[in-house]
Amino acid sequence: MTSQLVFNLASGSASCGFTLTAAQELQAKLNEIVRILKAKTAETPSGERAKPKPHQPIEYQYAGDVFLEIFCNPNIWANVFVAKVSITLRDDRIRLSSEAELTRIIEDVERFVEQIDTARS
């Protein structure tokens, strides 16, 4: 079953048909980004910051009614609260690319999953 996932962007919003399974996979990717960014800001026992090691960019793709791609390079963001992701939604007639705050996208996906779970109850 697909429902509409709404992404709240800096200037407006975009939505696409999405499944619960796809949302859970996207949550896992977003949690991976959060884990990497938190590790970058973690302190060692001596109180010093751990030397950050480079990480591969993280990408999520979904092909449903439209193609969705979310991309983040965790090496360029200092922490979770300033991190942004690139979002691309496209089909054969239109392409939308934008940047959004990581925390905002996490909230959007969490809200979607909660709505699906509530509808099932």
DSSP structure string for 6-60: EEEETTEEEEEEEEHHHHHHHHHHHHHHHHHHHHHHPBPTTSPBPPPPP---EEE
* pLDDT the model gives residue 81: 94
* pLDDT the model gives residue 61: 97
**Extents of the domains making up the chain:** 2-120
Beta bridge partner(s), residue 44: none
Residue 101: φ, ψ to 5°:
-70, 135
Digit-coded pLDDT (tens) for 54-102 = 899 999 999 988 999 999 999 999 899 999 999 999 999 999 999 999 9
Prediction pTM value: 0.88
Digit-coded pLDDT (tens) for 4-56 = 999 999 889 999 999 999 999 999 999 999 999 998 877 555 656 656 688 99
Take residue 44 and report the two structure tokens written for it: 């060692």
